[in-house]
Amino acid sequence: MSDPLFEFLCRMGDNTLVLGHRVSEWCGTAPVLEEDIALANTALDLIGQTTLWLNLAGEVEGRGRDADALAFRRDVWDFRNLFLVEQPNGDFGQTMMRQFLFDSWHRLYLTGLTESSDARISAIAEKSLKEVSYHLDRATDTVIGLGDGTEESHARMQAALDRLWPFVGEMFAGDAVDAALARQGTAPDPAKLRSGFDEQVGKVLAEATLVRPDSDFAHKGGKTGTRHSEHLGHMLAQMQWLQRAYPDATW
C-alpha cells in the first residue's frame, strides 16, 4: 500500500474531479437555463475542490506532480474515485439523484474533516463544506420536487434511486487507508457516518414519496482502484486527450 495520506487525498480529489466532469457534460443541454447555469456552477465548485485536494496530494507525494499532472497523466487504474461518481448522467432525474446521494455523504465526511489533525486538510474541508452544503440543498429540493411531482417524474426518480443505490455502500466501506487515517485523527471512520446518512436520506426520500431499495448489495473497488466501470475509461479519454496529445502545451 502506498502512503495512506496520498491515497486519501487522491480519493477526495478524484471524487470531485470525476463528478465535476460528469456534471459539466450538462453545460448547454440542461432542461432549462436556470439548471444549466446551476449545474455549470456546481461543476466549477467541484473542480476547484479537486485542485486543492490534488495539489496537496502532489505535495505529499514529493515527486513533482501537481493537480494537473495527477488529473491528466494518470491512467484509469490509478484513479481512486467512488463507483457512484463515474456513473453516466442518464436523464436529469438520475443526475440529480446521483448528486443528492453523493452530497449527502460528502457533507457528512467534510464536516468530520474540519476537525482533522492535519491543518491543511481541515482548511480545505472547511472551504469545501460551504459549497457542498449549497449543492445538497439544491439537490434535496429537486429530488423532493420531482419525486413528489407528476406520475412520470416520480417514476423516473424511483428508477434513478433503484439504479444508483447499489453504489452507495462503497462510501462507507472502510479499508486499511481509512483505518490508518482514523487512528491518526486525520479523517473520520466512514463506517461511523452511515447512520447519519441513512437518517438524513430517509427523511428526504419519505418527503419525495420514494421507496428506498431493500438490498444492501454494494459495488466496491472504485476507491481502491481495483475495479472501475467501463464508463470511467471513456470519460477519461474525453477529458485527457488534449493533454495527452500535446503534453505541457501552453497558450
pLDDT at residue 249, as a whole number: 82
User: Does residue 49 sit in helix, strand or coil?
Assistant: helix
Question: What value, to the nearest 5°, has the Cα angle with vertex 122 and ends 44 and 2?
Answer: 90
Rg (CA), the chain: 18
pLDDT at residue 1, as a whole number: 54
Contact (CB, 8 A) for 129 and 107:
yes
| Ranges of residues in the chain whose predicted pLDDT is under 50 | none
pLDDT at residue 235, as a whole number: 96
Q: Which three cell numbers stand for residue 176?
A: 486499511
pLDDT at residue 175, as a whole number: 96
CA–CA separation, 95 vs 61, rounded Å?
33
pLDDT at residue 56, as a whole number: 98
Contact (CB, 8 A) for 8 and 190:
no
pLDDT at residue 217, as a whole number: 93
The CATH number fitting domain 4-211+220-245, selected from 1.20.140.10, 1.10.240.10, 3.40.50.880, 1.20.1260.10: 1.20.1260.10
pLDDT, tens only, 151-197: 999 999 999 999 999 999 999 999 999 999 999 999 999 999 999 99
User: Which residue type occupies 31?
Assistant: P
Domain ranges for the chain, please list them.
Answer: 4-211+220-245
